[in-house]
Amino acid sequence: MRALSNIVKRNLSVYIKDKENVFYTCLSMLIIILLMLVFLGDMNIDIVKDALRHMDKLMQETVLPSESLLPGTRNPALDDTNAKTLVLSLIIAGITIVNGISASIGMLSMMSWDEETGKLAGYYVAPISRFILVSGYVISAIFLSIIFSVGTVIISEVILVLTGGTIMSPTLAIKVLGIIVLNSFSTTAFLFFITSLARTRSAYNGITTLVNTLSGFITGMYVPIGIMPGIVRNALAFIPMAQGSAWMRKEFTWDVLNTTFAGLPKEAITEYCEITGMNLKLGDTVFTPWMQCILLLVSGVLFMLLSSLMMSKKKVRDR
């Protein structure tokens, strides 16, 4: 445990001392928050309001039994407020996951730097297991990912309140923190496995660029998962960060989702959740929170073990 603690402390200390890296990571986080809230926010709000008006028209043409409707009373006067809160909550959840990924892969650059400078060879000959070595890098990245994810939530919630929304409840805050921790563990373990393939800074930078580019699509930030081809949606169901994003968005928006669609057919929420990717499906099976929790946990442990095996192979090759 002492070796693990020393590796974690050393990685965090070196990262924090690199002021440029910390600055640009923070700047990237703020830019993504502002771009998503300011530009994509209005467009998605209009889409929700159009959908509500369309549902009102269908309700006037068709009489549905009360048991097929969502609880609550339909109030079109609140559409603007409800749609805005729903969309901003959806965006905040996605940004939280994306920024956590960016922070995690930023910290994992420590490994490629150690690889290139030869410092990693010192760990190879040290009397510590490869699993402890992998855990040191992964835990460092998890800590940073959690810090940036929580920071994203706090900043976004302040913006949401300032724009007329409501702050999350303590119960939701606890759930969100739990998802952040679990998702940070799973995603970081996966990213460590991928980035451990890089042996130079240039190779690592190429992987980083690819991950940062694809993360917005994988998490459904840029393009709604529900409008992607079926084969793509099925593939995303096996990617940890996609499941973490879906779970986070569902928790963030569930209360306001029921408020926005109150008095409308229950299929309205189901369809909206499928289009936005909050309901990830494999065939006809919708992933529940418990299934997502198990998938994230198991995938994290699996990639930790695979990374340990890969680091062990590197030791053999370097000799």
- 4 within a domain of the structure (yes/no): no
127 DSSP 8-state letter: S
Q: Count how many Cα atoms sit within 13 Å of the Cα of residue 246 in the half-sphere of its side chain.
A: 33
Please state, in angstroms and rounded to a whole number, the distance separating the CA atoms of residues 189 and 100. Answer: 13
- 311 within a domain of the structure (yes/no): yes
Residues 150, 180 contacting (CB under 8 angstroms): yes
> What's the full length of the chain, in residues?
319
Mean pLDDT for each 10-residue chunk of the chain (319 residues)? 78 74 66 65 76 80 76 83 84 85 82 69 67 82 90 83 78 91 92 79 78 80 79 84 89 87 84 84 84 92 85 55
Q: Where are the beta strands (DSSP E) in 13-52?
A: none
- 7 within a domain of the structure (yes/no): no
pLDDT for position 316: 43
- 3 within a domain of the structure (yes/no): no
- 100 within a domain of the structure (yes/no): yes
- 52 within a domain of the structure (yes/no): no
Please state, in angstroms and rounded to a whole number, the distance separating the CA atoms of residues 188 and 303. Answer: 9
- 67 within a domain of the structure (yes/no): no
- 65 within a domain of the structure (yes/no): no
Positive or negative: CA dihedral 185, 136, 15, 312: negative
Domain total in the chain: 1
Residue ranges making up the domain that contains 125: 13-47+76-318
